[in-house]
Amino acid sequence: MNSTDVNEIKHEIEAVETGISLPVHEKDIIPSYTDDIEAGSSSSSSSNPSGKQKKGLKEHDPEFDEDIIHDSPSSFDDETFEEASKTVLTILIPVTITMLIVVWAVTNLNSQRHFFSTVTAVYMVYQESTDDSIGLKLAGALLNAVLFVFMILIVTVVFVLLYKYRCIKLIIFWLIFSTGTLLFIFGGGISYFLIRSFQIPVDFFSFFFILYNFTSVGVISIFYYSPKLLNQLYLVLISSFMAIFFSRFPEWTTWALLIAIALYDIFAVLCPSGPLKILVETAQQRQEPIPALLYNGMLFFGVDDDKEDKNSTELEEEEEEEGGGVKLGLGDFVFYSVLVGRAAMFDMLTAMTCFVGIITGLFWTLLLLAVYRKALPALPFSIGLGVIFYFLGKFLLLPFVLALGVEG
């Protein structure tokens, strides 16, 4: 190899050094790499008839070149969006199943609306009446929504304090007790009214025996061990039970509550003083798990780490081997289903438009998650679009479809 070829190779290496920011240990490798090229110039000339060195370092240093390719913006973006697209279905399926269960239940339990109204009245200060004025309904609905969000805030703050002072056993007991209560009381109540609606013959002894075993298996499958499918089924049922009850709130209170909880979600997850943000940051600093009920995009439900409790409204991507997918709190399942359930009480066409809005908002959230790679609130886009689609479907789409039916 002549001196011109050697100088050309040196210029190429200098260009790579000045154009790419490398760690210190990789820059230290460059000089010795240059010496290797000069020492092996004769063998390179014999293998390359043209006598010119090929551009790039991949032929001589594959690992070094792989690092460059991995850090390139285009390949990183392609890989990121490919991963996000694969997680869409794993998030969409349980959300859809939960909403379908709620829609089916609310349409088959209309005869029991008085009982549900009595139960949900416990959570409200203002009792909405059809004779009230619009101003009174709006003020009362806002008051109910603010108090409900305040209760969620208090519960979340208590959860954060317990975790901060390492009261893990108390947190686990709290979650087990609340899960068992939801399965036994909410599940038992809904099952009782479904039995009455469909006139299924069953005695009280058999009913409570089945309910007790149903609750016991649910607690064990969520907090101890079970097949993944059974674990997923119970978490979907818990979300459905809560959504069925909350969808029986008065109409004005329901819409005010959904908007208020979406705004609270932004504060809790993104604000520096937000309780859920503090909870996640504390867990990351300690590098230890937080017991919580979550849905993982890698098809794993159950107690997970670096996330909030079951009332949370947060999406987060983990880089751990066990759960590298997207995490969605069960509270998000609940409020998605409350919106669709409330729409189903009015009309199925409106419910379908709300479903499209919620899924579209969820896609947007997953897209932003793939771009920013950080914890994001899961409710704002979905609830916002769902509410907009509800009123568009109720006041524009449904009258248009009915008019077409009359004229056709």
Is 293 in contact with 222 (CB distance < 8 Å)?
Answer: yes
The residue from 304, 305, 306, 332 that is catalytic is 332
67 is annotated as an active-site residue? no
The residue from 28, 35, 265, 305 that is catalytic is 265
Is 160 in contact with 278 (CB distance < 8 Å)?
Answer: yes
332 is annotated as an active-site residue? yes
246 CB-near residues (< 8 Å, 6+ apart): 120, 254, 257, 334, 335, 338
Which 3-state string (H, E, C) describes the chain? Answer: CCHHHHHHHHHHHHHHHHHCCCCHHHHCHHHHHHHHHHHCHHHHHHHCCCCCCCCCCCCCCHHHHHHHHHHCHHHHHHHHHHHHHHHHHHHHHHHHHHHHHHHHHHHHCHHHHHHHHHHHHHHCCCCCCCCCCHHHHHHHHHHHHHHHHHHHHHHHHHHHHHHHCCCHHHHHHHHHHHHHHHHHHHHHHHHHHHHHHHCCCCCHHHHHHHHHHHHHHHHHHHHCCCCHHHHHHHHHHHHHHHHHHHCCCCHHHHHHHHHHHHHHHHHHHHCCCCHHHHHHHHHHHHCCCCCCEEEECCCEEEECCCCCCCCCCCEEECCCCCCCCEEEEHHHHHHHHHHHHHHHHHCHHHHHHHHHHHHHHHHHHHHHHHHHCCCECCCHHHHHHHHHHHHHHHHHHHHHHHHHHHHC
Active site residues: 265, 332
